[in-house]
Amino acid sequence: MSLVVFPFKTEDPEVVVANLRVAAEHPSVSRVLAVGFEVESTYQAVESERDDMARAASTPIDLVLQERVGTKRSGKGDGMNTALRYFLDETDSERIHFYDADITSFGSDWISQAERAADLGYEVVKHFFPRSSTDAMITWMITRAGFALLWPRTELPRIEQPLGGELLFTRPVVEALVADERVQAQSDWGIDTLYTFSTVQAGFSLYETYVSQGKAHALYGGLTDLRTMLVECFSAIQGLAGEVVGENVTHQVEAAEAVPPSITEKIGYNLEVTLGLLSQNWTERQEHLLDGFPDPIRRGMLANRDAATFLFMDEEAWHLTYRRLLESFVPGDADWDELLFRLWITRVINYTATRALRGYEHAQSYLASMVDGYVHAAQSGP
């Protein structure tokens, strides 16, 4: 039997309550846990409904506030690590599921698919989804690119959605994650990176199950909404550089199905607004920080002070940029944070204009080949 967890902050209460109900009614679920960031309207809505839902489903539904577990900014990581500790201390379940609380397309098949993979003996199960060609730009440009450049001979670059918050762990995996000080310290958006990295490094078997309907959830208003996540996810990768990861991990990926037009035709962000960000918030120190980058990148970025310029930031330029950031980026430094964000959006705009606008299939093929190219470059390099 399994514990199903929904970490949440402030979401649509009706969506959260509906998802809790779906989980509580699943035959493989023995307990449901909602982990709130603070006592606010969503927390109060769950609190008022949970007893009735639990009685109707004959499944306990617990509600707790996340603890201060880690040392980074208190966020998603504290919520998920609170749940891992709860799982070990308060239940005898053998499996724990995590799902984002705001998913409007959530259904019982998500739980069933993960359970079937675990029944086959896999210790970690991740859900992956069809994504629009301009979605998942942190996953592609930061996490998968970083995994490819730093650990090219491992399974890390081949994981479809390493930042996905929909997953299953068996009890031995949870015990390892709770004992891992790096994981427990990661209290912010970097937690997904640490979970993925730590479980692969420890050699746990991984199965990725495909959810064809996709993950419909509250959308980000624009790329500025992703700034904090971007910085924290890159910082997590940078902090792991130099770690050794074995090559012999069992990793199985389900075949993907046809992607519906609602995803292939979706626009992920406001391109016009994002172009305007390239010229904003420059400081003299940021200009000096660019001195350490290759000259074409430095000149291209400085040109953005006057007019949007992005064609120079192709996959090779991003490779060189990423290497420089790994060496020199300083987490928590305001100018480095802003420069990282501006470099990333330059890369995203370049990809959008030169690849994504050519169509969904072309864009997806390009992104996969980009990661493969980084793997090859890292394996061939010094």
If you write DSSP's letter for every residue of 69-113 in order, what string do you get?
--SSSSSHHHHHHHHHHHHHHH---SEEEE--TT-TT--HHHHHH
pLDDT at 216: 62
- Look up the pTM and report it: 0.95
pLDDT at 15: 96
Phi, psi of 295 (to 5 degrees): -60, -40
Q: Is 162 left (phi over 0), alpha (psi -120 to 50) or beta?
A: alpha
DSSP state of 6: E
CA-based radius of gyration for the chain: 21
Q: Which domains, ranges and CATH numbers included, belong to the chain?
A: 2-264 (3.90.550.10), 271-377 (no CATH)
User: For residues 41 and 13, is the Cβ–Cβ distance under 8 A?
Assistant: yes
pLDDT at 258: 78
Across the chain, how many H-helices and E-strands are there?
17, 8
Distance of CA 211 to the CA centre of its chain: 16
pLDDT at 212: 85
pLDDT at 222: 62
Pairing type for strands 167-170 and 124-128 reads antiparallel
Q: Which residues in the chain land under pLDDT 70?
A: 216-222, 266-267, 382
